[in-house]
């Protein structure tokens, strides 16, 4: 009997699994059973995330309860005064998120740990802020971020308000691995339960006021400048609308996408990376003749943009494009106002376009890149804070996330909204649209075309194929791609970089990420997703002139052919 069949049998025979769940299991096809039960759901780049439903590889009360028991034990073992300091828990609009929040609270309280909860949904960055503001031992966010409606998830935060990095996750995973299976797991309850404290609006007020304070040109004329906003049914609506209005912007919310609907019925997708997420916002923008569009993902840590071009059309920006313009704007204005630190640093990731590196360095600001996951940036900010510098100027990822001020230690779409709106308005008042701004940056620093592609590798069969792909990359390294020689390769799984016959050690934590540097300046990265059964391909094409157009797709096609994936 295979492992998935053993797991299915355990669930069907357990009195703890209700008849509705058992009926779901019995209705599954064999391939569905295999995918749902062939392994335990894992912690990835952003905690534990998966499709909701019965199964060891699914997000449900049993798998969440096991993970949360592990987190309780971890806190009591590794975090000083965890019981009295407590844990903040928040959730977004996902299906049954409030029930999952209650489950987490009950488990922690059984271990004698104090718990703080909000009265309704809140965005991820406010959860991070609350951990720091209240001085708690950690935090929990129930969310599946920008994933489809079938997903839910569990993000955990350390006492600094950042998600747990690998060296902190490792002991937690060890604790969870030693626990009984998710169905039969029991634990001894403390005689005195942890206190349950419901947070009032003071956390909202403090967070919103700090967000409002980050602006650099607060006196810009906002008249006759219209912004369309959609929270994609998620948790950003309350804070974002409050910030916009209190800062004096003329804001038009997409009302059909403002209610916290777990089924996302008003949008095709809640993912700002997908152009379909903007369809309703563009309709409203055309109706109101708005100059700017912003959208946040369901848990409010990612922000996507659209703007009215001089041709009268609405154009969307990628995460790389929007971030590099915001980076330049922030550093330029800080420099003009004498606010730019002499010891400034910008943080991004190894799959983010190198465009921003050149921009930052032109202002004398250092750049450091980490593995994918804002937790690494959050951890580094804390390290710098403790050790007296360097001074944090800006952090960003290609995946539509950035952080301007470090009172939050995760990417923050509400902060992004404030600064993106200010940036767009600033250039609008100077007679420029964002196309003009981006072109000027390219003329100064070189032309870039950055695209992210992905392929699905679903189920056990897909997982095996992906494992074979990574193995083949190590056995037969790519030495030539499309029309250029690979002059450097980096394998973060083995922590080795190679340039010709020379070999170097990589210092970042181990991860199944590969980067290829081509002689002509192009960069290609290959990385399995940490939150979905797919592999991502990051194509970063470069040219000194504007002939870079269309090159990213050609590189991607050549890569698929080389990897036998076409």
Residues carrying an active site annotation: 145
- Using DSSP's 3-state secondary structure scheme, residue 15 falls into coil
Sign of CA dihedral 57, 59, 63, 66: positive
- The neighbour count for residue 446, using CB atoms within 10 Å, is 16
User: Where on the phi/psi map is residue 55: left (φ > 0), alpha (ψ -120 to 50), or beta?
Assistant: left
C-alpha triplet 218, 417, 229: angle, nearest 5° = 115
- Distance, C-alpha 204 to centroid of its chain: 22
**Eight-class DSSP state of 308:** E
- Contacts of 461 by beta carbon, 8 Å cutoff, 6+ apart: none
Report how far residue 117's alpha carbon sits from residue 108's, in angstroms, rounded to the nearest whole number. Answer: 12
DSSP labels for 153-195?
EEEEE-TTSSBPPHHHHHHHHHHHHTSPPTTT---PPPSSPPP
> How far apart (Å, rounded) are the C-alpha atoms in residues 30 and 33?
5
* Gap between the Cα atoms of 93 and 237, Å rounded: 11
Distance CA 525, CA 351 (A): 6
The answer to whether 146 and 227 are in contact (CB under 8 A) is no
Question: DSSP readout, 255-298?
Answer: GGG-S--TT-TT-S---TTSGGGGHHHHHHHHHHT-SEEEEE-T
CB atoms near residue 565 (< 10 Å) = 12
Rounded-to-10 torsion of CA 109, 113, 116, 120: -30
Q: Are 539 and 517 in contact (CB under 8 A)?
A: no
């Amino acid at each position: 009997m295979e492992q998935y069949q053993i797991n299915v049998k355990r669930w069907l025979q357990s009195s703890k699994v209700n008849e509705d769940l058992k009926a779901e299991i019995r209705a599954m096809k064999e391939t569905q059973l295999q995918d749902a039960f062939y392994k335990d759901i894992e912690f990835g780049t952003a905690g534990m995330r998966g499709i909701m439903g019965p199964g060891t590889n699914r997000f449900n009360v049993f798998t969440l309860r096991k993970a949360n028991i592990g987190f309780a034990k971890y806190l009591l073992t590794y975090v000083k005064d965890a019981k009295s300091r407590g844990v903040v828990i928040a959730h977004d609009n996902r299906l049954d998120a409030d029930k999952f929040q209650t489950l987490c609270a009950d488990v922690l309280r059984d271990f004698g740990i104090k718990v703080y909860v909000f009265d309704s949904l809140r965005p991820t960055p406010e959860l991070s802020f609350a951990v720091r503001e209240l001085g708690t031992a950690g935090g929990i966010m129930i969310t599946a971020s920008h994933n489809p409606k079938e997903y839910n998830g569990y993000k955990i935060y350390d006492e600094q308000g950042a998600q747990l990095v690998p060296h902190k996750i490792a002991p937690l995973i060890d604790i969870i691995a030693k626990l009984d299976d998710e169905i039969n797991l029991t634990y001894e309850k403390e005689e005195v339960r942890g206190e349950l404290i419901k947070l009032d609006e003071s956390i909202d007020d403090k967070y919103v006021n700090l967000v409002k304070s980050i602006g650099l040109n607060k006196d810009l004329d906002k008249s006759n400048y219209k912004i369309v906003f959609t929270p994609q049914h998620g948790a950003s609506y309350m804070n974002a609308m409050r910030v916009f209005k209190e800062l004096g912007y003329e804001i038009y919310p997409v009302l059909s996408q403002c209610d916290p609907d777990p089924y996302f019925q008003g949008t095709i997708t809640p993912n700002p990376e997908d152009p379909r997420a903007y369809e309703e916002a563009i309709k409203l923008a055309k109706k109101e003749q708005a100059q700017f569009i912003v959208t946040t993902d369901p848990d409010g840590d990612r922000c996507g943009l659209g703007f009215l071009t001089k041709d009268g059309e609405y154009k969307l920006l990628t995460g790389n494009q929007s971030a590099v313009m915001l980076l330049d704007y922030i550093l330029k204005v800080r420099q003009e106002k004498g606010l730019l630190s002499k010891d400034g640093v910008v943080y991004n990731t190894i799959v983010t376009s190198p465009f921003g590196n050149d921009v930052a360095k032109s202002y004398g600001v250092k750049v450091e890149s980490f593995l994918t996951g804002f937790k690494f940036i959050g951890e580094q900010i804390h390290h710098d804070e403790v050790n007296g510098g360097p001074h944090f100027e800006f952090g960003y990822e290609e995946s539509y996330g950035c952080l301007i001020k470090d009172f939050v230690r995760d990417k923050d779409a509400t902060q992004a909204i404030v600064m993106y709106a200010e940036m767009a308005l600033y250039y609008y008042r100077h007679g420029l649209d964002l196309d003009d701004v981006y072109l000027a940056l390219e003329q100064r620093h070189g032309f870039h075309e950055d695209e992210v592609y992905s392929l699905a590798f679903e189920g056990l069969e897909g997982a095996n194929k992906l494992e074979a792909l990574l193995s083949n990359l190590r056995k037969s390294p790519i030495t030539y791609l499309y029309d250029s020689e690979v002059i450097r390769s980096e394998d973060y799984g083995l922590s080795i970089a190679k340039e010709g016959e020379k070999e170097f050690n990589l210092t970042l934590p181990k991860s199944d990420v590969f980067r290829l540097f081509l002689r002509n300046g192009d960069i290609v990265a290959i990385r399995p997703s940490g939150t979905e059964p797919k592999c991502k391909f990051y194509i970063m094409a470069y040219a000194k002139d504007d002939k870079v157009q269309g090159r990213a797709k050609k590189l991607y096609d050549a890569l698929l052919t080389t990897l036998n994936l076409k």
